[in-house]
Amino acid sequence: MFRGLSAVNLDAKGRLAIPMKYRQLLVDLCAGRLVATIDTEERCLLIYPEGEWDLIQAKIEALPSFNPSARRIQRLLIGHATDIELDANGRILLSQPLREYAQLDKETVLLGQGKKLELWSKDLWNSRRDDYIAEVNSPDALPDELLNLSL
Amino acid sequence: MFRGLSAVNLDAKGRLAIPMKYRQLLVDLCAGRLVATIDTEERCLLIYPEGEWDLIQAKIEALPSFNPSARRIQRLLIGHATDIELDANGRILLSQPLREYAQLDKETVLLGQGKKLELWSKDLWNSRRDDYIAEVNSPDALPDELLNLSL
DNA sequence: ACAAAAACCCACTTTTACCCACTTTATTCC
DNA sequence: GGAATAAAGTGGGTAAAAGTGGGTTTTTGT
């Protein structure tokens, strides 16, 4: 399982060094084969071990294709899902369209999120993080599942 | 299975180089024999491995032919279905009617979509993609299948 | 038979993946 | 505490592969 936050820099070629703590896990889980796609709610990327993504893609493909919202989700998520592989130095290469979508330049933040990783532009993450904290503390209706959660 | 986004250019003759990552798959699946037709909801083309298309065509043909919308679907999809084949350089040639329908000039985007590929004009895709993202985030009623999807 | 389009072929250009080496950070041992 | 050693991060150079652009031949349709 992935957790925690890592500050990572993209180099001039768009390569990103995966933090050491995840590498062995990625080799074991998926032989270093990953799939990156976009998050549709935030300008960030989602990075899955290949097998994990395959399960999700199967679910998305099974949605009824005459349903317009389902088609949109299919186009966005599967359409942006990009196979990437760890190179000999433990780096991955992110394609330009993905980098553009998430506004990634140099400084980025890699968030462990259980079965997947999220990659953010550092600036964007910092500002969204502050928003999140404000929203969690506002007294809006939280779903029951959250109200009953004991930390 | 197909996934991901590839930027591809049509050349002056209307030829399109299939990205390398798909070629071996296409040779294995269907010996490079494909069928292209139009998408009826968006101005883009759908490209299937021949065997995959045959299954779909059978389903479309089985629709009740006294039903007017079924007849329309049959005329549009089967009527535009065009056999195309990979040439020695891994390129396919798109007929002028198909290119016109999808407004393809030079810059295009090829989207992997599971069992099929979608081909868009780059400009049209970029603008539709932004629409899709906006629509996904609007609080309209999403189908239950989507609400329960956990990524 | 002729014109137009498609198929085929070959060569050039650009991009990518792979490899290697250097710099910086962390660790260990004296 | 500091030097020595190891490990991780970083930066490019290069060979191979993929993309691209026509010229020529064959087919098709009128």
B61 touches strand D (CB under 7 A): no
pLDDT tier for residue A64 given thresholds of 50, 70 and 90: confident
Three-state secondary-structure class, residue B141: coil
In A1-151, beta strands by DSSP E: 2-9, 15-17, 33-38, 45-49, 82-85, 91-93, 107-114, 116-121
Distance CA A135, CA A138 (A): 5
The residue-averaged pLDDT of B94-98 equals 90
Tokens of A48: 């899955």
Q: B112 to chain A: nearest residue by CA?
A: A79
CA of A105 to C1' of D30 (A): 58
The rounded distance, in Å, linking the Cα atoms of A101 and B109 is 15
The tokens describing A99, both together, are: 């980098």
Residues 85-114 of A with CB under 8 A from B: 95, 97
**Do A82 and B118 lie within an 8 Å CB cutoff?**
no
A134-148, B10-24, B35-49, B98-112: the lowest-pLDDT one: A134-148
- Overall average pLDDT of the A94-111 stretch: 94
Kindly state the average pLDDT of the residues B58-79: 91
pTM (whole model) above 0.85: yes
- Domains of chain B: residue spans and CATH: 2-138 (3.40.1550.20)
Q: Mark yes or no for CB contact A78/B3 under 8 Å.
A: yes
Strands B2-9 and A116-121: unpaired
Contacts of A97 in chain B (CB under 8 A): 5, 7
User: Which residues of chain A lie closer than 8 angstroms to B4, CB-CB?
Assistant: 79-83
Q: Which of the four pLDDT bands, split at 50, 70 and 90, describes residue A141?
A: low
Average pLDDT over residues A27-34: 93
- Tens of pLDDT along B118-142? 999 999 999 999 999 999 887 666 6
Q: What is the arithmetic mean of pLDDT over A85-94?
A: 94
Structure confidence at residue B91 (pLDDT): 94
Whole-number Å distance between alpha carbons of B44 and B37: 9
How close A85 comes to chain B (CA, Å)?
13
Nucleotide nearest to B94 (CA to C1'): C6
> Best residue in A39, A59, A75 to probe B by mutation, most B CBs within 10 Å?
A75
Closest residue to D8 (CA to C1') is: A20
